[in-house]
Structure 1
């Protein structure tokens, strides 16, 4: 193998910003933000929006952030009235 072509891995704490779940893993990414881990050592902190703790595939529950469909959102955005509401 060629020397110095592989990335340098270091321990990094990843945090799910939705649930606050944290886990320690090896990564090539780094961060200026640090956190003290359970073992007493300080590691770089990488914030994520979604992880296995909050993803519906892993948790088995769906989070509905928006109940409207795409057509309804388009109509609201551009001021088109809903025909069922006009009939009432």
Structure 2
């Protein structure tokens, strides 16, 4: 690999803005904010959604669009 062309890779803590869920991972992203995590201080990056708050992982998916399509179909072509 060529030297000096790749960004610095370091450990950071990602924090879910909604639930406060935190996890440590590697990243090239930098920040001025820090947080205590597992007895050490790491750079902190806030994210809007993680596996802790995403509907696919929490099982709280909303099927309003599909429900509306089914109702519309039944209203138009339903058995009478």
Alignment TM-score, normalising by the size of structure 1: 0.65
The 5 A counterparts of 1:4-15 are: 4-15=4-15
- TM-superposed CA distance for 1:62, in Å, is 2.8
Structure with more of its chain in strand, by fraction: 2
RMSD of the TM alignment (CA)?
1.3
Alignment TM-score, normalising by the size of structure 2: 0.70
Q: Which structure is richer in relative contact order (CA contacts within 8 A, separation 6 or more)?
A: 2
- Following superposition, which runs of at least 4 residues in structure 1 exceed 2 angstroms of deviation? none
Consecutive unaligned residues of structure 1, counting only runs of 5 or more, are 64-88
The 5 A counterparts of 1:50-69 are: 50-62=49-61
Consecutive unaligned residues of structure 2, counting only runs of 5 or more, are 63-80
